[in-house]
Amino acid sequence: MKKICALLSGLILTFSTNVYAQENNDGSGTYIKLGFVHSEGSIEWAEYVINGLSVEVETYFKSNRLGLSGWSIGYRKDNLEHSESGHLLNVDTFRTKSIRVADIKFGGGIEWGMPSDGFSHTRFNIQTDSDLSYDHVFLNKNSNIPGNGLKNDGALYPFAKISLVRRSKAFILEAGTRVNIMKFGIDEYNVSNDKLTVTSRDRRMAVPTVFVSVGFGL
Protein backbone atom coordinates (compact mmCIF):
# COMPACT_ATOMS: atom_id res chain seq x y z
CA MET A 1 0.00 0.00 0.00
CA LYS A 2 2.81 2.43 0.91
CA LYS A 3 4.54 1.70 -2.39
CA ILE A 4 1.35 2.42 -4.30
CA CYS A 5 0.85 5.71 -2.43
CA ALA A 6 4.40 6.72 -3.24
CA LEU A 7 3.93 5.73 -6.86
CA LEU A 8 0.76 7.79 -7.20
CA SER A 9 2.29 10.82 -5.53
CA GLY A 10 5.32 10.50 -7.76
CA LEU A 11 3.10 10.26 -10.79
CA ILE A 12 1.46 13.56 -9.97
CA LEU A 13 4.69 15.37 -9.23
CA THR A 14 6.47 13.96 -12.28
CA PHE A 15 3.77 14.89 -14.70
CA SER A 16 2.94 18.17 -13.10
CA THR A 17 5.99 20.05 -14.35
CA ASN A 18 5.27 19.05 -17.95
CA VAL A 19 1.58 18.99 -18.25
CA TYR A 20 0.54 22.05 -16.34
CA ALA A 21 1.08 24.40 -19.21
CA GLN A 22 -2.02 26.47 -18.83
CA GLU A 23 -2.25 28.67 -15.79
CA ASN A 24 -5.57 28.53 -14.00
CA ASN A 25 -6.24 32.08 -13.01
CA ASP A 26 -9.92 31.60 -12.26
CA GLY A 27 -10.27 28.90 -9.58
CA SER A 28 -13.75 27.83 -10.58
CA GLY A 29 -14.54 24.89 -12.81
CA THR A 30 -16.48 21.68 -13.14
CA TYR A 31 -14.85 18.42 -14.23
CA ILE A 32 -15.81 14.88 -14.98
CA LYS A 33 -13.20 12.42 -13.75
CA LEU A 34 -12.52 8.74 -14.30
CA GLY A 35 -10.45 6.94 -11.74
CA PHE A 36 -8.91 3.69 -10.63
CA VAL A 37 -9.31 2.69 -6.99
CA HIS A 38 -7.37 0.09 -5.05
CA SER A 39 -7.84 -1.11 -1.49
CA GLU A 40 -5.78 -3.76 0.21
CA GLY A 41 -5.33 -4.78 3.82
CA SER A 42 -6.75 -7.02 6.48
CA ILE A 43 -9.63 -7.07 8.94
CA GLU A 44 -7.93 -8.89 11.78
CA TRP A 45 -7.05 -12.26 10.16
CA ALA A 46 -9.02 -11.70 6.93
CA GLU A 47 -7.11 -10.20 4.04
CA TYR A 48 -8.90 -8.29 1.33
CA VAL A 49 -8.00 -6.86 -2.08
CA ILE A 50 -10.58 -4.73 -3.86
CA ASN A 51 -10.09 -2.92 -7.17
CA GLY A 52 -12.60 -0.62 -8.75
CA LEU A 53 -13.30 2.16 -11.20
CA SER A 54 -14.93 5.46 -10.39
CA VAL A 55 -16.59 8.34 -12.16
CA GLU A 56 -17.02 11.71 -10.47
CA VAL A 57 -18.36 15.14 -11.23
CA GLU A 58 -16.40 17.73 -9.30
CA THR A 59 -17.01 21.42 -8.93
CA TYR A 60 -14.53 24.07 -7.70
CA PHE A 61 -15.87 27.36 -6.42
CA LYS A 62 -14.43 30.62 -7.66
CA SER A 63 -13.42 31.37 -4.08
CA ASN A 64 -13.84 29.47 -0.85
CA ARG A 65 -17.36 29.29 0.53
CA LEU A 66 -17.77 28.53 4.22
CA GLY A 67 -14.15 27.47 4.11
CA LEU A 68 -14.73 24.97 1.33
CA SER A 69 -13.20 24.99 -2.14
CA GLY A 70 -15.70 22.71 -3.82
CA TRP A 71 -17.68 19.52 -3.80
CA SER A 72 -18.09 16.36 -5.82
CA ILE A 73 -20.53 13.54 -6.43
CA GLY A 74 -19.49 10.19 -7.74
CA TYR A 75 -20.16 6.53 -8.46
CA ARG A 76 -17.72 3.70 -7.88
CA LYS A 77 -17.86 0.12 -9.09
CA ASP A 78 -15.80 -2.23 -6.98
CA ASN A 79 -14.87 -5.73 -8.04
CA LEU A 80 -15.50 -5.43 -11.78
CA GLU A 81 -15.82 -9.18 -12.30
CA HIS A 82 -19.23 -9.23 -10.64
CA SER A 83 -22.17 -7.00 -11.49
CA GLU A 84 -24.50 -7.83 -8.63
CA SER A 85 -22.63 -5.93 -5.92
CA GLY A 86 -19.96 -3.30 -5.45
CA HIS A 87 -22.11 -0.32 -6.49
CA LEU A 88 -21.45 2.79 -4.42
CA LEU A 89 -22.49 6.44 -4.55
CA ASN A 90 -20.57 9.14 -2.76
CA VAL A 91 -20.65 12.85 -2.14
CA ASP A 92 -17.94 14.94 -0.55
CA THR A 93 -16.71 18.44 0.05
CA PHE A 94 -13.12 19.58 0.10
CA ARG A 95 -10.70 22.40 0.55
CA THR A 96 -7.57 22.94 -1.49
CA LYS A 97 -4.33 24.64 -0.61
CA SER A 98 -1.76 25.54 -3.18
CA ILE A 99 1.75 24.19 -2.81
CA ARG A 100 4.55 24.75 -5.27
CA VAL A 101 3.85 22.05 -7.83
CA ALA A 102 0.25 21.12 -7.15
CA ASP A 103 -2.72 21.72 -4.89
CA ILE A 104 -3.11 19.68 -1.81
CA LYS A 105 -6.72 18.75 -1.35
CA PHE A 106 -8.35 17.44 1.79
CA GLY A 107 -11.97 16.73 2.47
CA GLY A 108 -14.56 14.24 3.51
CA GLY A 109 -17.97 12.89 2.73
CA ILE A 110 -20.24 9.90 2.88
CA GLU A 111 -20.59 6.81 0.73
CA TRP A 112 -23.64 4.61 0.34
CA GLY A 113 -24.51 1.53 -1.66
CA MET A 114 -24.05 -2.20 -2.05
CA PRO A 115 -20.43 -2.98 -1.20
CA SER A 116 -18.64 -5.83 -2.91
CA ASP A 117 -18.32 -9.15 -1.12
CA GLY A 118 -14.57 -8.63 -0.79
CA PHE A 119 -14.87 -7.99 2.94
CA SER A 120 -16.66 -11.29 3.65
CA HIS A 121 -14.38 -14.08 4.75
CA THR A 122 -14.79 -17.40 6.51
CA ARG A 123 -11.97 -19.40 8.04
CA PHE A 124 -12.38 -22.96 9.30
CA ASN A 125 -10.18 -23.93 12.23
CA ILE A 126 -11.35 -27.32 13.43
CA GLN A 127 -13.45 -29.84 11.49
CA THR A 128 -13.93 -33.20 13.18
CA ASP A 129 -16.95 -35.48 13.46
CA SER A 130 -18.11 -33.86 16.69
CA ASP A 131 -16.41 -30.46 16.76
CA LEU A 132 -16.40 -27.57 14.39
CA SER A 133 -14.83 -24.16 14.78
CA TYR A 134 -14.83 -21.30 12.31
CA ASP A 135 -14.52 -17.54 12.14
CA HIS A 136 -16.44 -15.11 9.95
CA VAL A 137 -15.70 -11.49 9.13
CA PHE A 138 -18.08 -9.20 7.26
CA LEU A 139 -18.94 -5.58 6.65
CA ASN A 140 -21.88 -4.47 8.77
CA LYS A 141 -24.84 -3.24 6.78
CA ASN A 142 -26.82 -0.33 8.17
CA SER A 143 -28.98 0.91 5.32
CA ASN A 144 -31.70 -0.28 2.95
CA ILE A 145 -31.33 -0.38 -0.83
CA PRO A 146 -34.65 0.71 -2.39
CA GLY A 147 -36.36 -1.87 -4.57
CA ASN A 148 -34.57 -4.91 -3.19
CA GLY A 149 -37.09 -5.56 -0.46
CA LEU A 150 -34.39 -6.66 1.96
CA LYS A 151 -33.54 -5.18 5.32
CA ASN A 152 -30.07 -3.75 5.84
CA ASP A 153 -28.61 -4.78 2.51
CA GLY A 154 -26.68 -1.54 2.05
CA ALA A 155 -23.90 0.28 3.84
CA LEU A 156 -23.52 3.96 4.68
CA TYR A 157 -20.25 5.25 6.09
CA PRO A 158 -18.16 8.41 6.24
CA PHE A 159 -14.76 8.90 4.70
CA ALA A 160 -11.91 11.39 4.69
CA LYS A 161 -9.46 11.90 1.89
CA ILE A 162 -6.30 13.72 1.02
CA SER A 163 -4.78 14.07 -2.41
CA LEU A 164 -2.61 16.04 -4.79
CA VAL A 165 -4.38 17.79 -7.65
CA ARG A 166 -3.22 19.47 -10.81
CA ARG A 167 -5.80 21.10 -12.98
CA SER A 168 -6.36 23.60 -15.75
CA LYS A 169 -9.64 24.70 -17.28
CA ALA A 170 -9.53 21.73 -19.63
CA PHE A 171 -7.99 18.90 -17.63
CA ILE A 172 -7.59 17.62 -14.11
CA LEU A 173 -5.28 15.01 -12.62
CA GLU A 174 -5.55 13.76 -9.06
CA ALA A 175 -4.02 11.04 -6.91
CA GLY A 176 -4.33 10.38 -3.25
CA THR A 177 -5.68 8.26 -0.49
CA ARG A 178 -9.03 7.93 1.15
CA VAL A 179 -9.91 6.42 4.50
CA ASN A 180 -13.34 4.85 4.91
CA ILE A 181 -14.65 4.48 8.45
CA MET A 182 -16.42 1.13 8.29
CA LYS A 183 -17.90 -1.20 10.88
CA PHE A 184 -17.17 -4.91 10.69
CA GLY A 185 -18.70 -7.92 12.33
CA ILE A 186 -16.16 -10.39 13.68
CA ASP A 187 -17.76 -13.66 14.78
CA GLU A 188 -16.40 -16.90 16.18
CA TYR A 189 -18.49 -20.07 15.94
CA ASN A 190 -17.92 -23.26 17.89
CA VAL A 191 -20.14 -26.31 17.44
CA SER A 192 -19.58 -29.25 19.75
CA ASN A 193 -22.03 -32.15 19.46
CA ASP A 194 -24.49 -29.72 17.90
CA LYS A 195 -24.19 -27.26 20.79
CA LEU A 196 -23.53 -23.86 19.27
CA THR A 197 -21.49 -21.10 20.88
CA VAL A 198 -21.20 -17.79 19.03
CA THR A 199 -18.96 -14.95 20.08
CA SER A 200 -19.92 -11.82 18.16
CA ARG A 201 -18.32 -8.43 18.27
CA ASP A 202 -18.27 -5.34 16.08
CA ARG A 203 -15.26 -3.25 15.31
CA ARG A 204 -15.11 0.11 13.59
CA MET A 205 -12.00 0.42 11.45
CA ALA A 206 -10.29 2.83 9.11
CA VAL A 207 -10.01 1.22 5.68
CA PRO A 208 -7.50 3.01 3.44
CA THR A 209 -7.92 3.23 -0.31
CA VAL A 210 -5.62 4.75 -2.91
CA PHE A 211 -6.87 6.28 -6.11
CA VAL A 212 -5.77 8.05 -9.24
CA SER A 213 -8.11 9.88 -11.56
CA VAL A 214 -8.01 11.99 -14.67
CA GLY A 215 -10.71 14.19 -16.09
CA PHE A 216 -11.83 16.91 -18.37
CA GLY A 217 -13.37 20.30 -17.77
CA LEU A 218 -17.03 20.67 -18.65
Binding interface with other proteins (CB under 8 A) = 11, 15, 18-22, 36, 38, 40, 49, 51, 53, 80-85, 114, 117, 120-122, 132, 134, 136, 138, 140-141, 148-153, 166, 168, 170-171, 173, 185, 187, 189, 191, 194-196, 198, 200, 212, 214
Nearer to other proteins, 108 or 187 (CB): 187
Nearer to other proteins, 89 or 170 (CB): 170
User: What is d(CA 102, CA 125) in angstroms, rounded to the nearest whole number?
Assistant: 50
Write down the least CB distance from residue 151 to other proteins, Å: 6
> Quick one: the chain helix, strand, coil %, rounded to 5?
10, 65, 25
Burial of residue 152, with CB atoms counted within 10 A of its CB: 0-12 exposed, 13-18 middle, 19 or more buried: exposed
Write down the least CB distance from residue 134 to other proteins, Å: 7
Nearer to other proteins, 62 or 82 (CB): 82
Write down the least CB distance from residue 92 to other proteins, Å: 21
Nearer to other proteins, 85 or 93 (CB): 85
Write down the least CB distance from residue 57 to other proteins, Å: 18
Smallest CA-to-CA distance from 179 within 126, 117, 108 is with: 108
Residue 149 C-alpha from the chain's centroid = 26
User: What is d(CA 171, CA 15) in angstroms, rounded to the nearest whole number?
Assistant: 13
Nearer to other proteins, 30 or 51 (CB): 51
Write down the least CB distance from residue 213 to other proteins, Å: 8
Residues 15, 21, 25: CA angle, nearest 5 degrees? 120
Q: β-strand 155-167 against 131-139: which pairing, if any?
A: unpaired
Strand, helix or coil for residue 117: helix
